[in-house]
Structure 1
Amino acid sequence: MKDALTIHRSLLEREIVHEIVRLPRPITQADELPRMLDLPPERCLATRMYGCLDAARGERFLAALIVPAGSHPDLEPVRRAVGARLIRPARPDLVNSIADYCADLVCPLLLPDTVPVLIEQDTMDLLSPDVVVYTATGEPLTALGLRMADLYALSGAKPVGLCPAG
């Protein structure tokens, strides 16, 4: 499984300024980061993983969506953006095996090339490229802090407009 050290080494190789933060208590999901770091949710990003069925070929694949912690958006725009006929939250065992991260603590970096990565457009619009954002590292006791511009560039994320669910 990928962890904070794997991420740290990758960022050092690319000379990306970042920090690995030790959390005061373990977390079980990225949605807990704002409380642990005493930051607003929009500065703490969660990577949601979805199981998809390709609309053209009928093949299954995973897709990732970067959103503010605690956000659970409508999946229809995500489905359209990745060209899926069907989309639903991915099973944890599938996330673990394909993404190589703990399912509820996925970092949006170092995901396989086969996983399309999207980011909520409102998050991109709200945050300055130089703002430091925090995300999970795959481990319950650490978080990754880096500039929004670096997270965006390194994740290869494509912005997508979303509407909040219910």
Structure 2
Amino acid sequence: MKDALTIHRALLEWEAVHEIVRLPFALAHADELPRALGLPPERCLVTRVYSCDDAYGDQRFLTGVIVPAGGRPSTDAVRATVGATTVRPAHADVVNAVTEYAANLVCPLLLPDDMPVLIDQRVMDALPADDVVYTATGEASTALG
């Protein structure tokens, strides 16, 4: 399974400024990040993973959608954007196996190359360019900023 150290090493390799934050309590779900960090939900991002059927209905694929903590994307918007006929939340065991993250703590980084990752435009519009956002690391006790 991927964890904070895996993410940290990749970000160092990419020379990306970041911090790994130790949380005051273990998370059961990334939606708990605002409470753990004392931040508003729009500064804590959650990666939701959806199972999609292609336009022909014969192939399934996963799509990640980055939203503020507690938020849910419009499945119609996800379906239209990725060209799927159906979109539904992916089963936890599938998320674990494909992403190599704990299903409720998926980080939007280091996901499979063939997995589309979308971000809700409202997230981008709501934040000043220099604001730090936080996301899960796959571990219950850390966050990435």
Aligned to 1:65: 65
* Secondary structure of 2:138's aligned partner: coil
The within-5 A match list for 1:1-166 is 1-56=1-56, 58-145=58-145
Number of corresponding residues: 145
- Whichever residue aligns with residue 66 of structure 1, its letter is I
Which whole-Å CA distance do the structure 2 matches of 1:99 and 1:65 have between them? 13
Higher strand share: 1
- Equivalent residue letter for 1:124: M
What CA distance in whole angstroms lies between the structure 2 residues aligned with 1:73 and 1:110?
Answer: 21
Relative contact order higher in (CA < 8 Å, ≥ 6 apart)? 2
Contact 2:41 2:69 survives alignment (8 Å): yes
1:57 CA displacement? 6.0
Distance in 1 between the 2:81 and 2:42 partners?
A: 22
Query: Which amino acid in the other structure matches residue 61 of structure 2?
Result: F
SS at match of 2:86: strand
With normalisation by structure 2, the TM-score equals: 0.97
What is the SS of the residue equivalent to 2:71? coil
Q: Amino acid of the residue matched to residue 82 of structure 1?
A: V
Please give the TM-score of this superposition, normalised by the length of structure 1: 0.85
What per-residue deviation string (whole Å, max 9, x for no partner) do you get for residues 11-33 of structure 1? 00111110000000000111000
Partners of 1:55 and 1:41 lie apart in 2 by 34
SS in 2 for 1:124: helix
Could you list the runs of 5+ residues in structure 1 that have no partner in the other structure?
146-166
Task: Give identity over the alignment, percent.
Answer: 64
Q: Which moved more, 1:86-95 or 1:51-60?
A: 51-60
Could you tell me how far apart the structure 2 residues matched to 1:20 and 1:84 are?
A: 35
| Residue 127 of structure 1: how far off its partner (Å) | 1.1
Cα distance in 2 for residues equivalent to 1:74 and 1:124: 16
Contact preservation (8 Å) 2:57, 2:85: no
Displacement of 1:83 after TM fit?
A: 0.7
Aligned to 1:149: none
Q: CA deviation at 1:114?
A: 1.1
After TM superposition, what 4+ stretches of structure 1 lie above 6 angstroms from structure 2?
A: none
Q: Per-residue CA shift, 1:67-113, capped at 9, x if unaligned?
A: 00001232110111011111100000000000110000000000001
Read off the aligned partner of 2:82 and give its amino acid letter: V
Instruction: Tell me which moved more, 97-106 or 71-80.
Output: 71-80
Instruction: Tell me the C-alpha RMSD between the 2 structures.
Output: 0.9
